[in-house]
Structure 1
Amino acid sequence: MNQQALSALIWSVADLLRGDFKQSEYGRVILPFTVLRRLDCTLAPTKMAVLAEHQAKVAADLPFEPFVLKKASASFYNISPLDLPKLIGDQDNLRANLHSYVQGFAADVRDIFEHFDFANTVERLHKAGLLYLVVEKFAGIDLHPDSVHNAQMGLVFEELIRRFAEISNETAGEHFTPREVIRLMVSLLFVEDDEALTKSGTVRTIYDPTAGTGGMLSVAGEHLADVNPGARMTMFGQELNPESYAICKADMLIKGQDVRNIVLGNTLSDDGLPGRQFDYMLSNPPFGVEWKKVEKEVRREAEEKGFAGRFGPGLPRVSDGSLLFLLHLISKMRPAEQGGSRIGIVLNGSPLFTGGAGSGESEIRRYVLENDLVEAIVALPTDMFYNTGISTYVWILCNHKVEDRRGWVQLIDASSFWQKMRKSLGSKRKELSEAHIADITRIFGGFLELDQAVVTDAQGKDLARVALFPDVPLPSAPEGGKVRRVPIAKVFRNEEFGYRTITVERPLRDAAGNVVLGERGKQKGKRQPDSSLRDTENVPLAEDIDAYFRREVLPHAPDAWIDHVRTKVGYEIPFNRHFYVFEPPRPLAQIDADLKRSTDRIKQMIEGLAG
């Protein structure tokens, strides 16, 4: 059974719930029962051996847990003689037996169901007379890992969460990231790590501070396993939403991960893994969400710890906390001499340019660029995410750049790399193909500056877009059409994104037009500025301020001067500006001819109506 059919089968439980549960509550039943059945099926082959081992160790007055775990061949266990098929054989005692069965799990598993608020859900089902029907339905679904592998189970979880979010009018994007976006990010992170990709026995750590249901962690683990089965990925994460946390923890449990590495809580106000550093980090923090709820804790850390804490470089405006997650990730990078770290984070357009010189956002950009942490920024197509159609960007950061990349940032405009989905999912209408991911990874891995050939027909409609790799020839133009080259990858020095904001003053004049001079103190005899005429200019870091001033300002305002005390350094990354290609308008004669044809046609239509 494929993933979509299995998701539909599981979601069909909703048919039983109509009338007794609101639509927005369906997920509170379906999600924990899906996890329960998955765990139930996973433990089924070793069930009898586990029970026998448990009885023997209890009889011998020995701690049973390590022995039982070994018999279970998993990182969890259940010492209850019950399972879902047995539960439906005793309908009269189903509620009590189900509670007993859940309590038989290891403590980490019980924690999962506590965060699902499973006990209250069972009580509601019992009172509505639905408990037996729901348990019977799930007992008939085979979710054993041999039938539904971990990757497919992850997709099933995602589909169920998406349906739950849609029907609840919630934000699906808060729970998970599209799989192909994660695959792209993972490919970009791994492309330069030859050791992890080739050597047997390699161990790497990966961390997601906004783990959701664990999709990013899972895809990273699957990718490494595909290319190097002898390597091992240890996964860490933190998640704010209790249900997403519960699903993530269940998924990690089944994969054999240490679920103590998955913590619940707000990453910004309460770092659940303090002092830990990781090889790789991935995150898709919420776009444009304010951090007012945690403002007190964040500001306290910034003021008390400075650069010894997470937020030393600066704080963005309260209306968008995405750059706080970036700083959090940077604080968890291993020192370069210990192997360093690489980060992939999805951000919207705002962190690229919002905030002038001296603002929190600008200071954060200044920090990452002056410390040579940004390897690349990749623009994704619009309509890629379930909850928004806005432009998004993948930032790749690294504190152990290879020699060729040091001091440089690569910008990749992959906004045209997409194919239309057969069926839209929320706001998601486009997806990346495997070929798109491969091309973007090749551009990044090769540190290329690259153009794309856009082939259009006689009417100007796009027929094809071809990335002009060194081994790809320029395509021919069709009859009446044309081929134009547009840039899709460029490389810039870090300092090219920097500028100085200078304050240009003009003299204050009295009613007679005379310049007003200061009369006392340090200002005595000096021209006084007119605040109403004050202006600012942004001067590129690479350019001499005085030379710029003489060329751009003095010819227009000979009496102006610079107030050097007010000069500030700023950084911005005007992504779209670097990829803008001017297309001259058509010749005026063509436009006039088109207008004449249109007006003649309108005139004929009016004459026809009059006749």
Structure 2
Amino acid sequence: MKNIKESANFIWSIADLLRGDYKQSDYGKVILPLTVLRRLDCILEKSKADVLQKFEQLKTTNIENLDPILNKTAGYNFHNRSPFDFNKLIADPNNIAANLRNYINGFSEDAREIIEQFEFENQINKMDDNNLLFMVVKRFQETDLHPDHISSMEMGYMFEELIRKFAEISNETAGEHFTPREVIKLMVNILFLNDREMLTKKGITKTIFDCCAGTGGMLSVAEEYLHELNPDARLEVFGQELNPESYAICKSDLLIKGQNASNIKKGNSISEDQLSHEKFDYLITNPPFGVKWEKFAKKVKEEHEQRGHGGRFGAGLPSVSDGSFLFLLHLMSKMKPADQGGSRLAIVFNGSPLFSGSPSKTKNESSIRQWIIENDLLEAVIALPNQLFYNTGISTYIWVISNHKPTNRKGKVQLINSVDFFKKMSKSLGDKRNELSDNHIAEITKIYGEFVEATHSKIFENKAFGYAKVTVERPERNDKGQIVLDRKGNPKPDSALRDTENIPLLMDVQEYMEKEVLPHVPDLPAQKPISGEYCVYVLKCKDGTFYKGQTSDFTRRMKEHENGEVSWTSKNLPFEVIHWEIFKTREEAVKREDYLKSGRGREWLQKSYENKTLKVFERQAGAWIDETKTNVGYEINFTKYFYQYKPLRSLDDIRADIMALEQETDGLLKEII
């Protein structure tokens, strides 16, 4: 780490030369490309003479593409055939601009493409015009960036530190391009943990992909982990990165390490998927939090609507204000099928994807969670400490996705609460005030690997995160307080009283209604017959007698009684409907009417009335679920699962603290006076 600090501070100090001629926000346009150039220059130094000699020999041949031959001579996947290097550049101060251009143009195609990403030509002109170019190049020539002095891992740290500093002084989003290395180590530990035995096999080759590769930090840590585990193993790394400078840094790192640099693609992973037909063993990323995606919404929506699950976004689309789930679905589309060995995935999210999006007919965030969990793809969610990242202090989580879960994990999801696993940094870096120690990483990895219920680990069935969002209706009432019925005689729902309830999928809906809803709303009378239904009815008249009748239009018949059009009841108004029974045929209704008019029937009727078992005494629920509006959703409420009750402080303790404060302030006042 000492080499990193010294070299980073030295390179950072070079930016002082740019003061006055450059805006602070533009320092990186000079420092970053020259750091890459100097790194490449140090690597090629030993073989430079051999490459130039070989180049002279080949110039007279008819070979069109000399790059493979000269690369082999250089011992890397790149070379430089220019007569210049940094030592020779500073030996000719008067021609520094022209010679530097010649030097850059002397790189092989892959290396030259990396430098072009920085658009460095403009900076050469500007520095030369301001007599800065020689001084800046000389300062870089004085620092040793060879891998023997600074490893690839350390170089990655240094680039990230430089990017963070440039972003910080220009009030840009610090840390936008990278993830703290200790978080990456944790993610890589989790990804590889279950495969350690397989990864120790001789000659094993695996692939890993990062769709937001940044400067390549995640890929480098994964590669280093596998190399330490098994020096004979090979991890082929792939990535895509939108930011040109980060893309160039990432690609240069692969070039130096002998990896296939063409595996790193430039562009927006969501709108310009340049690895659309590839599948990978491992997938890892930290997408930008809360990124808006309206710029390419048309393309994404077309893929969702036209290709469904044949494309990347069949499970649903998140709100255009936060595209986090797009990156997850994009990565999941690149997982190998389970019958081909399957894949594992780790992604960093903020809290929003855990709960955003309400269940609806439109496929949204809730639908995405539902698809992931119901297909048994979510293995674990790990809550990280706050203030771990450079550009945000908010809560962050690692989601672990797998389509080949171990047997003991099938049908289950593990939640790990590691918010207290951190140590304070001696000096803050942007919003980063906390960090994970090696012991913290080991402890969290152990909790994940053991897969048991404990203080920081909870295990749930997949269904535990699901719920039915049901629409609860209550009846509309008229000015007299009477229930309004629809054409079928059912209570008409009142939209003003309409409410929704989220009922866990592990709970019976009717049981939930009886416990949580119905006790809080008044009951309704039993539903009466509607027009077209054959029925028998019983009226209790004013004089206490019972009238029995049958009809196929209950509503019309009741109006006839009310209007005094039925001779028997017209003399005993008003009346009360106390009983009714519905039948399939008129014959059945007539037969039942005759029985109720018989001696036994009258006796049964009187006894039932006294025992309150007639229809008038029956009640139906005062609220009901409209099942046509029910939608299923999923959410992960971390706070609920790990909540621990903390009793309030006693009044005596609070009073004692107040008295102590008063005495302290009183003493201070006396000292002042």
Both proteins in one fold, TM over 0.5: yes
Q: Which runs of 5+ in 2 are unaligned?
A: 524-621
Q: Give the deviation of 1:586 after TM superposition.
A: 4.4
Q: Give the deviation of 1:107 after TM superposition.
A: 1.3
In 2, Cα distance between equivalents of 1:249 and 1:129: 31
2:630 aligned partner: 567
Q: 1:540 aligns with which of 480, 494, 504?
A: 504
2:477 aligned partner: 509
Counterparts in 2 of 1:70 and 1:606: CA distance versus 1, 3 Å: closer
In 2, Cα distance between equivalents of 1:606 and 1:209: 59
Counterparts in 2 of 1:324 and 1:221: CA distance versus 1, 3 Å: same
In 2, Cα distance between equivalents of 1:339 and 1:89: 57
Q: One-letter code of the match for 2:475?
A: P
Kept in 2: contact 1:421–1:431 (CA 8 A): yes
Q: Give the deviation of 1:216 after TM superposition.
A: 0.6
Can you list the C-alpha shifts for 1:456-491, whole angstroms capped at 9, x where unaligned?
xxxxxxxxxxxxxxxxxxxxxxxxxxxxxxxx1111
Q: One-letter code of the match for 1:501?
A: K
Secondary structure at 1:5 match in 2: helix
2:396 aligned partner: 392
Secondary structure at 1:508 match in 2: coil
Counterparts in 2 of 1:606 and 1:413: CA distance versus 1, 3 Å: closer
1:2 aligned partner: 3
Kept in 2: contact 1:196–1:231 (CA 8 A): no
1:457 aligned partner: none
Q: Give the deviation of 1:58 after TM superposition.
A: 2.8
Q: Give the deviation of 1:432 after TM superposition.
A: 0.2
1:115 partnered with 2:79? no
In 2, Cα distance between equivalents of 1:138 and 1:602: 58
In 1, Cα distance between equivalents of 2:30 and 2:123: 6
TM-score normalised by length of structure 2: 0.82
Can you list the C-alpha shifts for 1:372-414, whole angstroms capped at 9, x where unaligned?
1111111111000001100000111111000000011110000
Q: Give the deviation of 1:433 after TM superposition.
A: 0.2
Counterparts in 2 of 1:596 and 1:231: CA distance versus 1, 3 Å: closer
- Where in structure 1 do 4 or more consecutive aligned residues deviate above 6 Å? 602-609
* Identity between Structure 1 and Structure 2 (%): 54
In 2, Cα distance between equivalents of 1:82 and 1:592: 75
Counterparts in 2 of 1:126 and 1:391: CA distance versus 1, 3 Å: same
Alignment of 1:216-235 (within 5 A): 216-235=218-237
Q: Give the deviation of 1:340 after TM superposition.
A: 0.7
Secondary structure at 1:138 match in 2: helix
Q: One-letter code of the match for 2:646?
A: E
1:424 aligned partner: 428
1:186 partnered with 2:249? no
In 2, Cα distance between equivalents of 1:83 and 1:600: 72
Q: One-letter code of the match for 1:255?
A: K
In 1, Cα distance between equivalents of 2:172 and 2:257: 28
In 2, Cα distance between equivalents of 1:603 and 1:230: 69
1:241 aligned partner: 243
Secondary structure at 1:376 match in 2: strand
Q: 2:519 aligns with which of 555, 565, 569?
A: 555
Can you list the C-alpha shifts for 1:109-158, whole angstroms capped at 9, x where unaligned?
11111110011111111111111111111112111111111111111111
Q: Give the deviation of 1:89 after TM superposition.
A: 1.6
Q: 1:271 aligns with which of 269, 273, 278?
A: 273
Can you list the C-alpha shifts for 1:29-67, whole angstroms capped at 9, x where unaligned?
000000000001111111122222222233232242222
Secondary structure at 1:173 match in 2: coil
In 1, Cα distance between equivalents of 2:400 and 2:654: 49
Q: 2:644 aligns with which of 581, 591, 595?
A: 581
Q: Give the deviation of 1:444 after TM superposition.
A: 0.5
Q: Give the deviation of 1:608 after TM superposition.
A: 9.1
Q: One-letter code of the match for 2:76?
A: A
Secondary structure at 2:280 match in 1: coil
In 2, Cα distance between equivalents of 1:28 and 1:607: 56
Q: Give the deviation of 1:518 after TM superposition.
A: 1.8
Kept in 2: contact 1:342–1:399 (CA 8 A): yes
In 2, Cα distance between equivalents of 1:579 and 1:440: 16
Kept in 1: contact 2:485–2:492 (CA 8 A): yes
Kept in 2: contact 1:196–1:204 (CA 8 A): no
TM-score normalised by length of structure 1: 0.90
Q: One-letter code of the match for 2:635?
A: E
Q: One-letter code of the match for 2:479?
A: A
Q: Give the deviation of 1:347 after TM superposition.
A: 0.2
Q: One-letter code of the match for 1:111?
A: E
- RMSD (CA atoms): 2.1
Q: Give the deviation of 1:595 after TM superposition.
A: 7.7
Counterparts in 2 of 1:18 and 1:597: CA distance versus 1, 3 Å: closer
In 2, Cα distance between equivalents of 1:34 and 1:20: 20
Paired positions, count: 569
Q: Give the deviation of 1:300 after TM superposition.
A: 1.4
The structure number with the bigger radius of gyration is 2
In 2, Cα distance between equivalents of 1:79 and 1:25: 30
Secondary structure at 2:182 match in 1: helix
Counterparts in 2 of 1:603 and 1:396: CA distance versus 1, 3 Å: closer
Kept in 1: contact 2:3–2:149 (CA 8 A): no
Alignment of 1:198-597 (within 5 A): 198-358=200-360, 360-451=364-455, 488-519=456-487, 524-557=488-521, 558=523, 559-586=622-649, 590-591=652-653, 594=656, 597=659
